[in-house]
Structure 1
Amino acid sequence: MARVACIATVACLLAACTTPGLRIDTSHTSVVQASRVQFLILHYTVADFDLSLDILARQGRVSSHYLVREDPVEVYRLVDESRLARHAGVSEWRGVTSLNASSIGIEIVNPGFTDTPGGRVYAPYPEAQIDVVVELVRQIMARHDIRPEFVLGHADIAPGRKQDPGPMFPWKRLADEGLVPWPDAAQVAARLAHHAVQPLPDVAWFQQQLARVGYRVPRHGELDEATRDVISTFQMKYRPGDIRGEPDAETAALLDVVVTPGGMRVARTAAAH
């Protein structure tokens, strides 16, 4: 009897292997759902196109959803938007960590920077390349309903460790297109007039405001290298003419406005597209 039972069990297992796959009814869809993608992260490659493509598509260490070539300007999708790409690394924004799991990455072919005796020199972006990046950002945001304040640079989510897309990236162009929020100029001018005649806030104040913006920043009140890195990253985006990481009146004015309700404006042109 035991042998018969064993044979019967094997027969059942073999039959299960040939049973058609599980049928799933997809006729009902929940109204409570959204894209898993919350963030859009912009990078530069610090390499030419051929090397960038090799690194991102073939070497097997890092990847990105998109690669935007500079000459000729072309867009390459390397990872489907539904899948995870390894472009963010160790990262954090507003307390959310490991942003690979919740973001789409765009790598822009650009040599990055050159260190010279006169200081670090960043490479510009061709206008035609930026035109394509703007349209790509617009389409991705629409597909995943990404909030404008969650379109970020790699430096924002990893200050000090990363500098991209660098001070030459035209964030103001994206703001004018309604894709990212921007500090209201009138409010910045008013706050600058205030800070110009008042003692500069202490380092702890700068750290507190930068943390409110979303950066991971030390909170010990000392102007150490990590704090300078975060200040410099903030300046790269909103005041790229001086990115030394020094606390100053203009940076304080910008921080005041960025963290104030109503201080950040999104251009209405976003609704026109």
Structure 2
Amino acid sequence: MKLLGCALLLLVLTGCTNGLRIDRSHPSVNHDSRIQFVVLHYTSASDERSLALLTHGEVSAHYLVGLNPPKVYQLVDESQRAWHAGESQWEGRTWLNSSSIGIEIVNPGYTDTPNGRLWYPYSEAQIKAVEALVKDIVKRYNIEPRHIIGHSDIAPLRKQDPGPLFPWKRLADDGLGIWPDAGAVARNKARFDVNPPSMIWYQQQLAHLGYAIDLTGELDVTTRHVISAFQMHFRPARFDGEPDAQTAAILQALNNQR
């Protein structure tokens, strides 16, 4: 029996399976987690419809934060790839489904009215649930604050979620994201009011922050969309895609903080 036990132990240690012997006695220190990003979304649907779409539709997410009640549902195991990001890019990484945790939040998004677009706020209970969930994920995977991003950041030509009413600053104040220093923004704006930067400067700075953008030197359609996505995240009071001095000041402050 003792001899049989030793043989079984040797089998486990060498990973012998169907005649294949794998030596696992030399683990490398050069690795990190597959999960590098947290991507936040809204669903544009009710609780019931959101659950149906994310469990039996063509898309999915790792988590869904409900509205009534603000319950957190896990829909996909974190070890698996959920289909929430689609064609996407951040810091040169493409197709972020493979390297991110996707969190959907039940929210109608917006309604277009004769007086303009009406965006819907998130409930306090929802935001508390999102904060607790993101904090747990970040702690377990050691995710950097600058890697907590929105769907609109990684796909600015296609998406606008989680929208201008998502409280990015509140999360950043809790270490769950980045936010520009107000004093640095004020100093930068005074300089840019006098000497506005070129369009290639905006494109270079946006690319440095993480956005996917071509360095054309022109205020083309893509650049407007990227600027608008940046503004929606960091200056939600106005996200018209215009490259003004305040936008430049915020962008400079964020990149200097890196």
Aligned to 2:7: none
Counterpart residue identity of residue 208, structure 2: R
Runs of 4+ residues deviating >3 angstroms: 19-33
Which of 180, 204, 210 is the aligned partner of 1:208?
Answer: 204
The 1:58/1:119 distance shift into structure 2, 3 A limit, reads same
Measure, in 1, the Cα distance between the counterparts of 2:202 and 2:31: 38
The one-character-per-residue Cα deviations of 1:50-82 (angstroms, maximum 9, x if unpaired) are: 1111110012x1110000001111000000000
Pairwise CA distance, 1:193 = 1.5
SS of the residue aligned with 1:80?
coil
SS of the residue aligned with 1:206?
helix
SS of the residue aligned with 2:191?
helix
Matches within 5 A, 1:121-140: 121-140=118-137
Aligned to 2:32: 34
Counterpart residue identity of residue 198, structure 2: D
Aligned to 2:55: 57
Q: Does 1:235 align with 2:250?
A: no
Pairwise CA distance, 1:202 = 2.4
Q: Does 1:104 align with 2:101?
A: yes
The one-character-per-residue Cα deviations of 1:9-50 (angstroms, maximum 9, x if unpaired) are: xxxxxxxxxx98979787886544432101110000011111
Measure, in 2, the Cα distance between the counterparts of 1:77 and 1:124: 23
Where do 5+ consecutive residues of structure 2 fail to align? Answer: 1-16
Which of 23, 41, 44 is the aligned partner of 1:43?
Answer: 41
The one-character-per-residue Cα deviations of 1:130-158 (angstroms, maximum 9, x if unpaired) are: 00000100000111111111111001100
Pairwise CA distance, 1:206 = 1.3
Measure, in 1, the Cα distance between the counterparts of 2:80 and 2:48: 24
Measure, in 1, the Cα distance between the counterparts of 2:62 and 2:100: 10
Counterpart residue identity of residue 37, structure 1: I
SS of the residue aligned with 1:208?
helix
User: TM-score, normalised to structure 1's length?
Assistant: 0.83
Measure, in 2, the Cα distance between the counterparts of 1:146 and 1:167: 24
Pairwise CA distance, 1:117 = 1.9
Measure, in 2, the Cα distance between the counterparts of 1:85 and 1:130: 22
Q: Does 1:144 align with 2:131?
A: no
Larger Rg: 1
Matches within 5 A, 1:212-231: 212-231=208-227
Q: How large is the Cα RMSD of the aligned pairs?
A: 1.9
User: TM-score, normalised to structure 2's length?
Assistant: 0.88
Measure, in 2, the Cα distance between the counterparts of 1:50 and 1:28: 49
Q: Does 1:81 align with 2:67?
A: no
Q: How many residues align?
A: 242
The 1:21/1:107 distance shift into structure 2, 3 A limit, reads farther
Q: Percent identity?
A: 57
Aligned to 1:175: 172
Where do 5+ consecutive residues of structure 1 fail to align? Answer: 1-18, 265-273
Which of 237, 242, 247 is the aligned partner of 2:243?
Answer: 247
Counterpart residue identity of residue 192, structure 1: K
Measure, in 2, the Cα distance between the counterparts of 1:76 and 1:255: 35
